[in-house]
Every structure is written in structure tokens, then in C-alpha cells.
Amino acid sequence: MRILIANGMVVNADGSTRADVLVDGETIALVGRDLAAQGLRADRTIDARGRYVIPGAIDVHTHFDMPFGGTMSKDTFETGTRAAAFGGTTTIIDFANQQKGHSLREGIDAWHAKAEGNCAIDYGFHMIVADVTDAVLAEMDQVIAEGIPEFKLFTAYPGVLYSDDGAIFRAMQRATRNGALIMMHAENGIAIDVVANQNAESGHTAPWYHGASRYPVFEGEAANRVIRLAEAAGSAVYIVHLSSRDALEAVRAGRDRGTPVYAETCPQYLFLSLDDLGNGFEGAKFVCSPPLRPRDHWPELWKGLQADDLQIVATDHCPFDFHGQKEMGLGDFRRIPNGLPAVEDRLDLMHDGGVVGGRISPERWIDVCAASPARMFGLAGRKGVVAPGADADLVVYDPNRKHTISATTHHMNVDYSCYEGRTVQGGSDVVLSRGTVIVEDGRYTGTKGHGRFLKREATGAALAAQTR
Ligand code: URP
Ligand code: ZN
Ligand code: ZN
């Protein structure tokens, strides 16, 4: 099947140009001017006049079908990847979980079983490490060989996913040898639990206290600590879901010293605030970790994106229904499952708030949502770019179309939206995954099982060799 996408504005991270795109089978065959006029034949032509032609977005931080906080995240690989496609995201990287006392192998097998045959779009895995033992360190090498070359460790969630400094340092030393990339959830979970318990024991049990207990300085301290540990180990480190000015300062300082530290933020830290955690138990809808911050953190994070101290915007999509799941924390904010839905909304929120809002260029929008994720996570040349030879993961994107986000119309399998009633400018009109149209005219035209597992190369060594 040959598809010609004609007359659009091709937007890549390194520049935009008016051009036609010829898709042949699963890949992009040609990008050039007036391909139709040159007599090229195609089975189908999509007129992209007045619209962007962009690489399908890549979300490197999702949690589908994950046991967490005493329940399961609500989107499965089937519902989550379909919702992602509606939002112009054509690749996700999810976190396979190691359970304490179990092997990495068991976690990977479980995640393959959840995903295989169910995905609308291509997918990869990172590995969550909950238990750093000699055996697990040795297993890391095998996991990398299977195309899963990143490992996420936590300074948060004591007793569940938490690793102490020694464990983190050992994993980083191993990464220095085997080329893996260590991803860190950086919040001082031990100190947070002290404040959270003090608040709860004083009768402060509403969701707002989830945010109020997790001080920004606890994130800044942990970020600085893991960056310093990476310096000592000689490894790169990637800070996930960075939410605060304090953590950004630690990243910036590390990068200024020449440390290969990289970081992502998420839409919720750019568009939502601690205020959203108020309003009684409704605030439970916004409980995630790190928590939403006071709004004066927003401009700093935008500056971080502009200056490339933050390289990626991912979602940390981890949805729980308000009814029945978030309600587990009625009367005690510590029992509210942590996480928000966002996989469908990221590209539009970043277009609306970033590009239309005048904070970033269209090229930088593509960089943080597609090109950097591809470059940093072993998909360079294959995803995140509109260029000959790349997978034909493409979106015909209307930068002017407005729509209002709502749980009544979204495709994520969750009973509320954090952005209910917000009107955004920009929307994905046609979405292709490896040359197949999977979303068009607001309808899903893809098939369950079209998405393939992406075996990815390790980038840790290359990232460790780079500095600012
Ligand atoms: O609240 C969050 N972020 N839930 C998902 C788990 C994690 O820490 O990424
Ligand atoms: Zn995390
Ligand atoms: Zn996460």
C-alpha cells in the first residue's frame, strides 16, 4: 500500500518545510516537494493542506495494567494504546515491574503477556527494579540483550519500590559497565512518610495533604543525591516526572558540572497545580507522585524545556477511576492510589499551552514529544522523525482545530479527566502506525495486535559520554 500525504507542512525537530510524504508499506519512502506532480502513483492520497505532518509522538512513561496502591491501573494495553493513538501518540514505553523477592524475568514475562496481541501501536518496556540483589544485577545484562535497556529505581515509596543509596549506587555501577540507562523517581520517601504520617495523625486526611506532605525540597534533595551518586558511579541518569523548581535546580547544577543528567517533565506539572488537590475529596483525582506543585513552579519548568535542561515531556499515565479506586483513600489521603490519566492529551496540551501559548516553537514541541524520546531511548532513525527510511508513524495534525477535553468523549478507560472542560487548540486528524491508518475522522480504524514490541538498543553509554 502506497499512501501520499500531500501539501502539508512537515514539522521535524530540526526544521519545518512544505513537502509531500510518500509512504510505501510500513516506512516512509520519500519526503519532497510536489511528489504528485512528478507522477508518483499512490493507492491513496491524503490532502494535508493547512495542516502539519508530524512524526507520531512517543510517550516514554506509561503504566498500563499495573498493580499499584492496592489496585490496578485502569487502562490495559488494549485501551491505553488505542487512547494514545487518538491523541497522536504512536509509540509508548511502559514499565515492566519486578515484584520484591522475584526475578526481573518474571516481571518481563508478565508484561509481555499483558501486551502481546493487544496493542494498537508499537510499544517497548523499561524495567522497574524493586529489589537490587546480586542475582538481579547479573540479570540486568540479559534484560538489556532482550531490548529492555533502562531500569527505573525509586527513592520514594518506602517498603514497596524504595531502594536505598547503596542499592541505587550498585545499579548505577552496573549500568556504567553494561551501557544501561538508570531512570530515577527522585523524592525522599523516608522524609515524606514522616510528614504524611504527622499530617494524618493530626486529622489532616484530605487529598490536599498528599501534596502538602511531599515538599518540593524532598524532590530537590533526592534529585541532587542521585545525580551525585551517578557522578560517583560514572553513569548517566534520567530523572523521571520532574515536578519542581527544586529538582530542576539540581538537574541544572549537575549539567553545569558536566554530569550526564537528563530529565522529563509531564503535562500535569505544567498545567495543573496544588490548588487542584483542594476542593475536598475531588482532589483525589489529582493525586500523583511527585505531587502537583504551586503554580509558581510552572514558569521554571517551561524555562527548563526551552533551555534543554528538560529534554522530554512524557505522561506518567497511570489512571485510576475516581469511583471505587481513588475512593479507597476516603478518610486517609495515604490510601489514594497515586497516578493520573494523560496518554491521550499530552500532544494537544503541549501544542496548546506550548506552541499556541508562545512558550516553545512547533519544532521544539516535536522535539520534546517525539524526537528526543526516540534519540534517548534507542529509536533514532526509526521513530520520531519524518524522513525516508523511518517507520511511517505519522500524524496529520490540525494546528487550528479546537476541542474540549472531557471524560465523556475521551478514549482512556477511566471515569474522569484532570482537564475536564479545558478547550485546547490543535488535534490529530489522521494517525498512521507503520503505514496503516489507525485513526481518521475521530474513529479508530486500526486493529488490536497491530502494535509490535520494540527491541531497543541501550543508550546509557552514549548518553554518559555527552555533556551539555
Ligand atoms: O503517581 C504516580 N506517579 N504513579 C505512577 C508510579 C510512578 O511513581 O511513576
Ligand atoms: Zn515514579
Ligand atoms: Zn511512573
Which tens digit of pLDDT belongs to each residue from 158-168?
999 999 999 99
| Chain-centroid distance, C-alpha 109 | 22
**pLDDT over 80 at 468, yes or no:** no
**pLDDT over 90 at 39, yes or no:** no
| Chain-centroid distance, C-alpha 354 | 17
- Cα of 154 to ligand 2 centre, how many Å? 7
- Cα of 269 to ligand 3 centre, how many Å? 13
The set of residues, in sequence order, having a beta carbon less than 8 Å from that of 170 and lying 6+ positions away, is 132, 137
Would you state the cell numbers that stand for residue 385, as one nine-digit string?
Answer: 522523525
Closest ligand to 61 CA? 3
C-alpha triplet 157, 163, 168: angle, nearest 5°:
140
Give, for ligand 1, the residue of 68, 163, 286, 288 to mutate: max count of ligand atoms closer than 8 Å to Cβ: 288
User: What is the DSSP-derived secondary structure letter of residue 334?
Assistant: G
The set of residues, in sequence order, having a beta carbon less than 8 Å from that of 189 and lying 6+ positions away, is 154, 155, 156, 157, 158, 162
The set of residues, in sequence order, having a beta carbon less than 8 Å from that of 153 and lying 6+ positions away, is 129, 132, 163, 167, 168, 171, 182, 183, 184, 185
- Is 338's C-beta closer than 6 angstroms to any atom of ligand 1? yes
The share of the chain scoring above pLDDT 70, in percent, equals: 100
Give, for ligand 1, the residue of 150, 318, 326 to mutate: max count of ligand atoms closer than 8 Å to Cβ: 318
Would you state the cell numbers that stand for residue 32, as one nine-digit string?
Answer: 519532497
What band does 230 get if pLDDT is binned at 50, 70 and 90?
Answer: very high
What is the mean pLDDT of the segment spanning 191-200?
98
Nearest CA to ligand 1 atom 5: 339
- Is 316's C-beta closer than 6 angstroms to any atom of ligand 1? yes
| Cα 9 from Cα 6, distance rounded (Å) | 9
- Is 189's C-beta closer than 6 angstroms to any atom of ligand 1? no
- Cα of 62 to ligand 3 centre, how many Å? 6
Nearest CA to 148 out of 133, 129, 130 is that of 129
Is the bond into 290 cis (omega within 30 degrees of 0)?
Answer: yes
Give, for ligand 1, the residue of 74, 241, 269, 325 to mutate: max count of ligand atoms closer than 8 Å to Cβ: 241
Q: What is the pLDDT of residue 33?
A: 95
Q: What is the pLDDT of residue 217?
A: 98
Q: What is the pLDDT of residue 257?
A: 97
Q: What is the pLDDT of residue 37?
A: 85
What band does 36 get if pLDDT is binned at 50, 70 and 90?
Answer: confident
Nearest CA to 461 out of 229, 262, 176 is that of 176
pLDDT tens column, 345-375: 999 999 999 999 999 999 999 999 999 999 9
C-alpha triplet 383, 385, 389: angle, nearest 5°:
75
| Cα 272 from Cα 346, distance rounded (Å) | 13
285, HSE (Cβ side, Cα atoms, 13 Å): 20
| Chain-centroid distance, C-alpha 226 | 20
| Cα 185 from Cα 193, distance rounded (Å) | 16
Q: Residue 80: in which H helix or E strand, if any?
A: helix 77-86
- Pairing state between β 237-239 and 15-24: unpaired
What band does 96 get if pLDDT is binned at 50, 70 and 90?
Answer: very high
The set of residues, in sequence order, having a beta carbon less than 8 Å from that of 446 and lying 6+ positions away, is 82, 85, 120, 121, 433, 436, 437, 438, 439
Indicate the residue type of 394.
Answer: L
**pLDDT over 90 at 24, yes or no:** yes
Would you state the cell numbers that stand for residue 287, as one nine-digit string?
Answer: 493525586
Mean pLDDT of the chain: 98
Question: Which ligand 1 atom is the nearest neighbour of the CA of 95?
Answer: 9
Closest ligand to 186 CA? 2
Nearest CA to 238 out of 342, 146, 171, 152 is that of 152
C-alpha triplet 301, 467, 257: angle, nearest 5°:
75
pLDDT tens column, 75-90: 999 999 999 999 999 9
The answer to pTM > 0.95 is yes
Sign of CA dihedral 51, 54, 60, 65: positive
What is the mean pLDDT of the segment spanning 450-459?
98
What is the mean pLDDT of the segment spanning 441-451?
97
The set of residues, in sequence order, having a beta carbon less than 8 Å from that of 194 and lying 6+ positions away, is none
